[in-house]
């Protein structure tokens, strides 16, 4: 593989969709929240993104079937669902490969802009000693940050947001896109389902969705979103 490419599975019919990113990271909060969100709007796998910048291994499932690392884009097939594109995956480029992170984020932004996205939400985790597990917010504008604070988030100030979760937001701002980053506070490195669910609930509130199917959260959080 000499360059990145996107394999399209179906072309979603979207009207000014919101883009939601949740990749593996601290506490796996981004991936957990993104999967819950995709399930809540019955999103289906619409495209796969492959890149030579991904790690040099394959993932093997419980049936012994291997597949290379990739990012997966999900979108609802029904126009009755919220218009959204959700990105998740099973890996990220090596932390020290700065060029890879910038290259991949640029191609992701190119792709979602081609689908009409003008607002993005990135999701990650942040270490905190507090047991309260707040949800923190960073945004592309003061007004937007204040709006999300009113919905229950706490400002994330004077820090860094690493990886795609931070870069996508910063690079989107440079393109004139609006967006927010939601960071779930967590105490450990193990997958934190409670923190992921808390971020998912706030995201649902922000986007005007009701969380009604509680059984579709913690019990199914470890499974991939339906194909």
- List the domain boundaries for the chain: 5-207
Q: Where are the alpha helices (DSSP H) in 126-227?
A: 142-150, 163-174, 193-207
Q: Report helix, strand and coil shares of the chain as percent, to nearest 5.
A: 30, 25, 45
Q: For residue 182, how far is the Cα from the chain centroid?
A: 10
With a cut of 50, which residues of the chain have pLDDT below it? Answer: 213-227
Task: Name the pTM for this structure.
Answer: 0.90
The confidence score (pLDDT) of residue 62 equals 92
The confidence score (pLDDT) of residue 204 equals 95
Torsion over CA: 64, 66, 71, 75 (sign):
negative
Check residue 216 and report its DSSP letter. Answer: G
Choosing among 3.30.450.40, 3.40.50.300, 3.40.50.2300, 3.40.50.10900, the CATH entry for 5-207 is 3.40.50.10900
Torsion over CA: 27, 166, 110, 206 (sign):
positive
Count of CB atoms within 10 A of residue 68's CB?
Answer: 16
CB 62 within 8 A of CB 55: no
CB 197 within 8 A of CB 29: no
The confidence score (pLDDT) of residue 158 equals 79
The confidence score (pLDDT) of residue 211 equals 58
Cα angle value 52/55/60 (rounded, 5°): 110
Which of 82, 122, 115, 103 minimizes the C-alpha distance to 8? 115
The confidence score (pLDDT) of residue 212 equals 52
d(CA 115, CA 14): 7
Q: Burial letters for 165-204: b for 16+ Cβ neighbours within 10 Å, e otherwise? A: bbbbbebbeeeebebbbbbbbbeeeebbbebbbbbbbbbb
The confidence score (pLDDT) of residue 189 equals 74
């Amino acid at each position: 593989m000499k360059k990145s490419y996107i394999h399209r599975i179906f072309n979603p019919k979207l009207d000014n969709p919101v883009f939601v990113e949740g990749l593996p990271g601290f506490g796996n909060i981004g991936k957990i929240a993104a999967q819950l969100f995709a399930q809540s709007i019955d999103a289906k796998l619409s495209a796969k993104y492959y890149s030579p910048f991904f790690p040099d291994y394959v993932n093997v499932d419980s049936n012994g079937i291997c597949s290379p690392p990739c990012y997966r884009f999900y979108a609802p097939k029904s126009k009755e669902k919220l218009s959204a594109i959700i990105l998740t995956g099973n890996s990220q480029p090596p932390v020290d490969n700065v060029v890879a992170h910038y290259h991949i984020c640029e191609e992701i932004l190119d792709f979602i802009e081609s689908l009409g996205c003008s607002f993005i939400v990135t999701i990650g985790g942040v270490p905190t000693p507090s047991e309260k597990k707040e949800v923190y917010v960073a945004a592309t504008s003061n007004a937007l940050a204040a709006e999300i604070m009113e919905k229950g988030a706490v400002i994330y100030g004077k820090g860094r947001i690493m990886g795609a979760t931070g870069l996508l937001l910063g690079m989107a701002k440079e393109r004139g896109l609006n967006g927010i980053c939601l960071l779930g506070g967590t105490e450990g490195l193990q997958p934190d389902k409670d923190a992921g669910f808390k971020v998912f609930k706030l995201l649902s509130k922000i986007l005007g969705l009701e969380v009604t199917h509680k059984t579709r959260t913690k019990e199914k959080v470890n499974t991939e979103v339906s194909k």
